[in-house]
Structure 1
Amino acid sequence: MKKILMKNERETTELGYKLGSLIDFPAIVCLSGDLGAGKTTFVQGFSKGLGVSENITSPTFTIVNEYNGRLKLYHFDVYRISSSDEMYDIGFDEYISSDAVCIIEWAEMIEDLLQGIEKLWIEIKYAEGSTFKRELLMRPEGEKYEKLVEELFKE
């Protein structure tokens, strides 16, 4: 697990951009954490790193937005789903087995659907005693994600 302290929104965006720039394979990135902590901000940077030129907004009501960059990007926000079964109704299994990058906000709500699948978990939360700083915890699950995190933090 890798823990990073980010001082502001710009650093969150930059880290997302760097990760998006490094991804060159179909991937699953799971975001969890506090409400308002910066998940969508991270996705905005991440998408730019993937070469997406469109403005990124959270698909809170549509559940998934699709974007084109170097790789196709499916951006999920599952905050409003009431059960994992709803994800099957939209064809979630087809999305995550495609040749695209899937980034999922509030992924902890569908953790049961992600069991046994290699992925990168990223938790973003408020740093203790601060309303500006954020802690970001990265937990790679699978060799390609371990290598990705290593590459992300090479100096």
Structure 2
Amino acid sequence: MTAMQEYTTHSREETVALGHSFAKTLPAGALITFTGGLGAGKTAFCQGLAEGLGCTDPVSSPTFAIVNYYRGPRPLAHFDLYRIHTENDLAAAGFYDYLDMGAVVACEWSENCADLLEQEHPIHIDIQRIDETTRRITIE
């Protein structure tokens, strides 16, 4: 297991750029679980992830869709687990299918399924809002 890394970003652009560079370190089928409040920057980080993986689809929050899938040489499945609480719900949303096909899977509201997700050995990313533009991002 790698050691915890902590970053501070000072703009949305810096958060996107951190996601972009972090994407380069990810193996196929990596699972990323996000924690952090509304407006913390999870979707901005995912935008950078998608760009770093070579996806060209525009990134948006998957709040109403449950999952947004971004095509590319290294695809990204971006989940919002706000309304997902059981393994059946995860399976029905295609969660395990995306992991099995080698997509990088990023999950917002991961705390709703923390025990299930932990079985997949995720990379945890916590984004805390310090002020209007500053974010503390912890990766472990």
With structure 1 as the length reference, what TM-score do the two structures score?
0.80
The aligned counterpart of 1:14 is 17
The aligned counterpart of 2:79 is 76
Shift of 1:82: 5.2
Shift of 1:24: 4.2
**What are structure 1's unaligned runs of at least 5 residues?**
140-155
**What are structure 2's unaligned runs of at least 5 residues?**
none
The residue type paired with residue 25 of structure 1 is A
Shift of 1:115: 2.3
The residue type paired with residue 80 of structure 2 is D
The reply on whether 1:50 has 2:53 as its aligned counterpart is yes
The aligned counterpart of 1:61 is 64
The residue type paired with residue 134 of structure 2 is K
2: CA distance between counterparts of 1:98 and 1:30? 18
The aligned counterpart of 2:125 is 122
DSSP-derived class of the 1:22 partner: coil
Shift of 1:33: 0.5
The aligned counterpart of 1:148 is none
Q: Which runs of 4+ in 1 moved over 3 A?
A: none
DSSP-derived class of the 1:70 partner: coil
2: CA distance between counterparts of 1:91 and 1:13? 26
DSSP-derived class of the 2:102 partner: coil
For residues 11-37 of structure 1, the C-alpha deviation after alignment (integer angstroms, 9 at most, x for no partner) is 101000111233342211111101101
The aligned counterpart of 2:135 is 134
2: CA distance between counterparts of 1:28 and 1:115? 10
The aligned counterpart of 1:35 is 38
Supply the RMSD in Å over aligned alpha carbons: 1.6
Relative distance call for 1:82 and 1:20 in structure 2 (3 A) is closer
DSSP-derived class of the 2:89 partner: helix
- What percent of counterpart residues are identical? 35
Which gives a bigger RCO, structure 1 or 2 (Cα 8 Å, sep 6+)? Answer: 2
For residues 101-139 of structure 1, the C-alpha deviation after alignment (integer angstroms, 9 at most, x for no partner) is 111111111112112322211000112xx2221110111
With structure 2 as the length reference, what TM-score do the two structures score?
0.88
The residue type paired with residue 126 of structure 1 is R
